[in-house]
A and B are shown apart, each in its own frame.
Chain A
Amino acid sequence: MTVTGRKILLSAVALGMVAAAPPAGAVVFAVSPQPGQRTVALGSPASVSVAWRVERQFSAGGVPAGDTVSSAAGAFHAGSATGPLLGTVPRLLSQTRPVSGALTVFTFREAVTVPARVIHRAHRLGFSQVVYVRTFDDGFGAATGTVTLPVTGSGGAAFSVARVALSFADGSVLQVVEPGAPLAVQARLTVTGSGLLRAVWEVADPASTAGRPVYRVVRTVRRHLTGTGVQALPGPPLPTGARGGYRVRLRITQPRPGFEPPELAYFVSGGRGGALRSLPLVRPAPGVTLGPETRFAWRAVPGAAAYRLDLLDATRQGARPVTGVVVPGERSEAVLSAATRGHLVPGRRYRWRVRAIDGQGRMVAESEIRELRVP
Chain B
Amino acid sequence: MPRGEARRARLLPALVLAGLLLGAAPLHAQQPPRLLPADHEVRGPSDPLRIRLAGWNADTLARLILELDDVDVTAVLEREGEVLVLRPVEPLAEGVHHLRLVEHTPEGDLLEHGSWTFEIRHSARLREAGLAMEGSVSAVHRLGGSGLGTPPPRRGRIQGAATFDGRAADGDWQVTGEGEVLLDTDPAGLPRGGGLVDAGEFLVTGRRGAWEGRAGHQAPLPPGLLAGDFTRRGLSAGYLGAGGRYAARAFAVTTQEVLGLRQGLGVGSPARRTAGVVFEARPVARDPEALVVAVTLLSGGDPGQTGEGVGGESETGSRGDGVSVAADALLLDRRLRLRGEAAGVRYDFDGGGPAAAERDRALALLAEYAVWRGDTGDGTAPALAVGVEHRRVGTFFRSPANPEAVPDRELLRAFARFNRGGLQLEAALGRETDNVNDLALLPRIRTRRATLALVHAPEPAGEALPWYGRPTFTLEGVDQERRVVRGGAGLAPGPFSATTRVAFSAGFAYPSWEWSLAHFVGRSDDFTGQSAATDDRTTEAAVNIQGEGGASLALSFQHSDSRDRDAAIDDTTDTASLELGYPFGERLTLNLGITLNRQRLSDDSLDTRTLTYTAAAVWDVQGAGAGRPGVQLALEGTRNELSDRVDPAGDATSNQVFLRLTVFWVPGE
Please give the number of chain A residues whose Cβ is less than 8 angstroms from any Cβ of chain B in the complex: 148
CA distance A102 to B161 in the complex (A): 61
B174 part of interface (Cβ distance < 8 Å)? no
Residue pair A269, B310 in contact (C-beta under 8 Å): no
B265 part of interface (Cβ distance < 8 Å)? no
A375 to chain B, nearest CB (A): 5
CA distance A127 to B632 in the complex (A): 66
Residue pair A172, B217 in contact (C-beta under 8 Å): yes
- Identify the closest chain A residue to B434 (Cβ): A153
Residue pair A223, B501 in contact (C-beta under 8 Å): yes
B659 to chain A, nearest CB (A): 10
Contact of A323 among B71, B148, B520, B589 (CB under 8 A): B71
B395 part of interface (Cβ distance < 8 Å)? yes
B591 part of interface (Cβ distance < 8 Å)? yes
- Identify the closest chain A residue to B544 (Cβ): A280
- Which residues does chain A contribute within 8 Å of B397, judged by CB atoms? 43
CA distance A306 to B91 in the complex (A): 13
Residue pair A190, B379 in contact (C-beta under 8 Å): no
Contact of B311 among A124, A129, A259, A288 (CB under 8 A): A259
CA distance A284 to B423 in the complex (A): 11
* A311-354 vs B, Cβ < 8 Å mask (1 yes, 0 no): 00001111001111111100100101111101101110000000
- Identify the closest chain B residue to A214 (Cβ): B640
Residue pair A325, B489 in contact (C-beta under 8 Å): no
A195 part of interface (Cβ distance < 8 Å)? yes
A36 to chain B, nearest CB (A): 10
Contact of A212 among B152, B306, B445, B478 (CB under 8 A): B152
Contact of A39 among B219, B223, B330, B489 (CB under 8 A): B489
* A89-132 residues at the B interface, CB under 8 angstroms: 113, 115-117, 120-121, 123-124, 126-129
Residue pair A219, B575 in contact (C-beta under 8 Å): yes
Residue pair B489, A229 in contact (C-beta under 8 Å): no
- Which residues does chain A contribute within 8 Å of B127, judged by CB atoms? none
* A210-239 vs B, Cβ < 8 Å mask (1 yes, 0 no): 111010111110111111111000000001
Residue pair A37, B530 in contact (C-beta under 8 Å): yes
Q: Known interface pairs A176-B200, A282-B470. Does A171 touch B70 (Cβ–Cβ under 8 Å)?
A: no
B522 part of interface (Cβ distance < 8 Å)? yes
B396 to chain A, nearest CB (A): 6
The stretch of A56-64, A133-141, A201-209 in contact with B is A201-209
Residue pair B306, A259 in contact (C-beta under 8 Å): yes
CA distance A224 to B640 in the complex (A): 31
* B401-436 residues at the A interface, CB under 8 angstroms: 403-409, 417, 419-421, 424, 426, 432-436
Contact of A195 among B71, B433, B526, B538 (CB under 8 A): B526
A5 part of interface (Cβ distance < 8 Å)? no
Residue pair A196, B65 in contact (C-beta under 8 Å): no
Q: Known interface pairs A212-B152, A327-B76. Does A123 touch B71 (Cβ–Cβ under 8 Å)?
A: no
B301 to chain A, nearest CB (A): 14
* A151-167 residues at the B interface, CB under 8 angstroms: 151-156, 158-159, 161-167
Residue pair B379, A44 in contact (C-beta under 8 Å): no
- Which residues does chain A contribute within 8 Å of B34, judged by CB atoms? none
- Which residues does chain A contribute within 8 Å of B612, judged by CB atoms? 214, 216
B320 to chain A, nearest CB (A): 12
- Which residues does chain A contribute within 8 Å of B409, judged by CB atoms? 154-155, 228-229
Q: Known interface pairs A220-B558, A280-B514. Does A269 touch B520 (Cβ–Cβ under 8 Å)?
A: no
A369 part of interface (Cβ distance < 8 Å)? no
* A174-202 residues at the B interface, CB under 8 angstroms: 174, 176, 178, 188, 190-196, 198, 200
CA distance A113 to B595 in the complex (A): 33
B337 part of interface (Cβ distance < 8 Å)? yes
CA distance A141 to B450 in the complex (A): 55
The stretch of A6-14, A17-25, A69-77, A291-299 in contact with B is A291-299
- Which residues does chain A contribute within 8 Å of B439, judged by CB atoms? 42, 123, 153
- Which residues does chain B contribute within 8 Å of A44, judged by CB atoms? 406-408
B236 part of interface (Cβ distance < 8 Å)? no
Residue pair A212, B312 in contact (C-beta under 8 Å): no
A319 to chain B, nearest CB (A): 10
Interface of B (DSSP majority class): strand
A16 part of interface (Cβ distance < 8 Å)? no
Residue pair A328, B76 in contact (C-beta under 8 Å): yes
Q: Known interface pairs A173-B257, A323-B72, A342-B110. Does A156 touch B470 (Cβ–Cβ under 8 Å)?
A: no
Q: Known interface pairs A42-B408, A176-B200. Does A321 touch B71 (Cβ–Cβ under 8 Å)?
A: yes
Contact of B534 among A153, A158, A196, A306 (CB under 8 A): A196
Residue pair B102, A163 in contact (C-beta under 8 Å): no
A198 to chain B, nearest CB (A): 7
A264 part of interface (Cβ distance < 8 Å)? yes
- Which residues does chain B contribute within 8 Å of A244, judged by CB atoms? 138, 140, 159, 660, 662
Q: Known interface pairs A194-B482, A267-B182, A357-B90. Does A222 touch B562 (Cβ–Cβ under 8 Å)?
A: yes
Residue pair A316, B497 in contact (C-beta under 8 Å): no
* B586-599 vs A, Cβ < 8 Å mask (1 yes, 0 no): 00010100010100
Most chain B CB within 10 A, of A128, A270, A271, A346, is at: A270
B481 to chain A, nearest CB (A): 10
Residue pair A243, B662 in contact (C-beta under 8 Å): yes
* A19-53 residues at the B interface, CB under 8 angstroms: 35, 37-39, 41-45, 47
A151 to chain B, nearest CB (A): 6
CA distance A35 to B370 in the complex (A): 50
Contact of A227 among B89, B356, B449, B546 (CB under 8 A): B449
- Which residues does chain A contribute within 8 Å of B354, judged by CB atoms? 121
Residue pair B511, A196 in contact (C-beta under 8 Å): no
CA distance A38 to B528 in the complex (A): 10
Residue pair B497, A164 in contact (C-beta under 8 Å): no
A144 part of interface (Cβ distance < 8 Å)? no
Residue pair A156, B614 in contact (C-beta under 8 Å): no
The stretch of B1-9, B272-280, B617-625 in contact with A is B617-625
A83 part of interface (Cβ distance < 8 Å)? no
Residue pair A153, B408 in contact (C-beta under 8 Å): yes
Residue pair A226, B449 in contact (C-beta under 8 Å): yes
Residue pair A291, B374 in contact (C-beta under 8 Å): yes
CA distance A153 to B581 in the complex (A): 53
CA distance A194 to B524 in the complex (A): 8
CA distance A161 to B311 in the complex (A): 10
Q: Known interface pairs A270-B134, A283-B470, A375-B370. Does A308 touch B355 (Cβ–Cβ under 8 Å)?
A: no
Residue pair A152, B491 in contact (C-beta under 8 Å): yes
B249 part of interface (Cβ distance < 8 Å)? no
- Identify the closest chain B residue to A340 (Cβ): B72
A203 to chain B, nearest CB (A): 9
CA distance A322 to B396 in the complex (A): 38
Residue pair B636, A325 in contact (C-beta under 8 Å): no
Q: Known interface pairs A174-B259, A207-B614, A212-B654. Does A292 touch B509 (Cβ–Cβ under 8 Å)?
A: no
A-B contact pairs, 27 of them (CB 8 A): A167-B231, A176-B135, A196-B534, A200-B597, A207-B616, A211-B658, A212-B152, A212-B654, A222-B538, A226-B478, A229-B405, A257-B312, A258-B312, A260-B311, A269-B134, A273-B620, A275-B623, A288-B424, A291-B419, A292-B376, A299-B512, A317-B219, A336-B72, A339-B100, A340-B72, A347-B337, A357-B89
Knowing that A129-B489, A220-B575 touch, tell me 10 more A-B residue pairs with CB under 8 angstroms. A113-B313, A167-B309, A188-B229, A229-B405, A241-B591, A242-B618, A271-B630, A284-B455, A363-B90, A375-B370
Sort A-B residue pairs by CB-CB distance and give the 8 closest, nearest first: A153-B434, A155-B445, A163-B312, A224-B522, A150-B489, A267-B161, A155-B434, A293-B379
